[in-house]
Amino acid sequence: MFPKASIFLFLAASQFLLRSVSSVDFVYNTNFTSTNTLLFGATVDSPSSILTLTNQTARSIGRGLFPSRISVSSSSSASPLPFATSFIFSIAPYKNMLPGHGFAFVFLPSSATSAASSAQHLGIVNFTNNGDPNNRIFAVEFDVFANQEFNDINDNHVGVDVNSLTSVSSAVAGFWQGERFKELRLNNGDNYQTWIEFNVSAINVTMARAGSRKPVRPLISIPLNLTGVLVDDMFVGFTAATGQLVQSHRILSWSFSNSNFSIGDALITENLPSFKLQDDSVLKSKGFIAGVSVGAFVLIVSVLGLLFYVVRRPRRRVEEDVEDWETEYWPHRVKYRNVLDATKGFSEENMIGYGGNSKVYRGVLEGREVAVKRIMISPRESVAGTSEFLAEVSSLGRLRHKNIVGLRGWCKKGGESLILVYEYMENGSVDKRMFDCNHEMLSWEERMRVIRDVASGMLYLHEGWESKVLHRDIKSSNVLLDKDMNARVGDFGLAKLQNAMKEMVSTTHVVGTAGYMAPELVKTGRASAETDVYSFGVFVLEVVCGRRPIEEGREGIVEWMWGLMEKDKVVDGLDERIKEKGSFEVERVEMALRLGMFCVHHDPKVRPTTRQVVQILEQGRLSDDGDEREREGMEVSLLERMKSSYLLGTSEGRQQQEQHPTFQDVWNTYSHSKSFESSDSIFQGR
């Protein structure tokens, strides 16, 4: 909260600073018009002259802005100017319709809505630009939907947003009365007044019922630096959105000033129209009178209704309650009845895999073959507690790449199970192709293609999407083959989105599969891109050697390969079945095995990045990605590079474990006769 003395000094100083900037002051007291307001999808009600941002139209965006840009930063510096605004708003539901989503007071660099989406994005940003520092957007949101995607605190909150809908600060909607907090329900149709005051270094957000005095204690009071956000001239006003859920968002009055912090006092707060839904009086209704007159008839209807319920009950057991808010998540939810029919009631004959608490079934949904994963939920894990999982699914469902198994939809069955619907992969898993005698064995060329495809898919997860995605369970049974024998990474049951500002994802328990987990993951439980690379390295060894990472009575595959490398007998690790066929190149076998061992190095810092793995598999083509520049005439001898005793744990290398050369150090040691070529194909989606 601003100290009174500092506000006085600030206002005195601001008067001097603002002399060089044209002052902006305006007041709308239920006198909005299409002339004094810039409208995009919004309307001005007549004759009340109230700004209506949205109505009962689904998936709509409405904006009402001051008709011209205003100065938001000092002409002599890049510092943002102070401002004070106050407005009276009403959010009201429609009868027999579920309400959502919310509105915001905003500063925008452009009046256009082309870069904004409806529903949970509130008409401010969209899925791809949310969080982009180049947005130059400041907003105070009034949101009635709890979006896990944005870490919303609940379904009735106020938040301060800077370039992102993940608020820098948020609070339950309401006001402080002394030491007591009183919550206000945003979308009950009541009229509320809000005060937003920014003094260049901090912001206060206060709200109360219209007609009440401004509370002394703000709802939100935080330091805030808007340098680089409020720049030059910008639009100011309001934006709102609906999704499947709809409600009206109205602005009744609005004042704004960059010099007068008491301008909110100019708003008329009495005799304002009300938008609360009126409860019909049962006693005065014709229905009540008719009901009393024909009580016997009502009794008969009740009995018939009860009988109908009993008859229909067995059928309803296979249905599920679809909560409308869930349809906001992508991929769109599918009906449980359709999934049940597609899998023939989850029949055993349709089951194609199982593990842990889940089973996978083959089915036909909307004329297309799909794989349906059914995850059983223990009694302690209610579906209400799976909101984080559903939000994760909604994000992962947007992944699109030729080497990623596509997620087509999901549903849930009460508190019993969660169901994911994937694209069906006709040729099953690499695991079955490697170790199941009923399937044709993968040839050497097919194995190398699988390794390249998986590396390409991992690079997309780590670098090709807007957020880094850690798979956390790369293994042969999670790599599937489509009808053309293209490998695709699947089963994102353990996957996590990783914020670009964080280096690792912490978990409360170790997740993954024994034999594929990096030593540091087992020790700390912290997943990272390096632990994914380690799992990929084990996968490479598994595919080339034709043996599982851990087999009873045998040495682990990583330890076994270390022994062969110390004896300089790397190629001896090749699958005996491939040796018998003889259709392989010794150099490529050695490269693949040394690459696998390079990825499972005990020091995470020494392991290559996923991009470097792809470069190796593409035979030395180095893409220009900033620090690594194209260098013509420089040869990269991959085989010699990965023979380095520093990296492979020989006796000489073990004496220098603390001085491992980096990937770039070894890369730069050798010259290349060909110029490097940039390859962006790894990022091409479908």
* Tokens 């034999």, located at residue: 515
- Give the whole-angstrom CA distance, residue 666 versus residue 617: 16
Is 373 assigned to a binding site? Answer: yes
Cα 62–chain centre separation: 24
Catalytic residue among 152, 161, 453, 473: 473
Tell how strand 180-183 and strand 174-177 pair up. antiparallel
Helix (H, G, I), strand (E, B) or coil at 160: strand
Give the pair of three-digit tokens for residue 642: 């990965």
| Category of 180 on φ-ψ map: left (φ > 0), alpha (ψ -120 to 50) or beta | beta
If you count DSSP H runs as helices and E runs as strands, how many of each does the chain have, helices first? Answer: 17, 29
Three-class HEC string of 204-263: EEEEEECCCCCCCCCCEEEECCCCCCCCCEEEEEEEEECCCCCCEEEEEEEEEECCCCCH
Instruction: Count CB neighbours of 378 within 10 A.
Output: 9
List, in sequence order, every residue forming a beta bridge with 480; answer none if it has no partner.
Answer: 429, 488
Of the candidates 323, 322, 364, 358, the residue with the CA atom closest to the CA atom of residue 340: 364
Of residues 169, 253, 162, the one with CA closest to residue 205 = 169
Beta bridge partners of 410: 333, 420
Q: What is the DSSP letter of 333?
A: B
CA distance 490 to 207: 48
H or E segment to which residue 62 belongs: strand 61-65
Residues 6+ apart with CB under 8 A from 218: 1, 176, 204, 205, 206
Give Cα 605 to chain centroid, integer Å. Answer: 28
Q: Are 137 and 156 in contact (CB under 8 A)?
A: no
Residue whose C-alpha is closest to residue 600's, from 546, 662, 548, 531: 531
* Structural contact between residues 545 and 574, judged by C-beta atoms closer than 8 angstroms: yes
354 C-beta neighbours (distance < 10 Å), count = 12
Consecutive H or E run containing 169: strand 169-172
Residue 557, helix vs strand vs coil: helix
Phi then psi for 641, rounded to 5 degrees?
Answer: -60, -45
End-to-end Cα, the chain, rounded Å: 52
Residue 113: closest CA among 137, 89, 94, 80: 137
Q: What SS3 state is found at 88?
A: strand
Partners of 70 in beta bridges: 234
- Helix ranges (DSSP H) in 355-490: 387-396, 430-435, 444-459
- Considering only CA atoms, which of 95, 90, 152, 93 is closest in space to residue 120? 152
Whether the Cβ atoms of residue 496 and residue 392 lie closer than 8 Å to each other: yes
**What's the sign of the alpha-carbon dihedral 653, 657, 662, 665?**
negative
Determine whether 132 is an active site residue. Answer: no
β strands within 280-378, DSSP E: 351-355, 358-365, 368-376
The H-or-E segment that residue 589 falls in is: helix 586-599
Nearest to 342 by CA among 375, 372, 373: 372
Known binding site for ATP: residues?
373
Q: Which residues are annotated as a binding site?
A: 373
Residues recognised as catalytic: 473
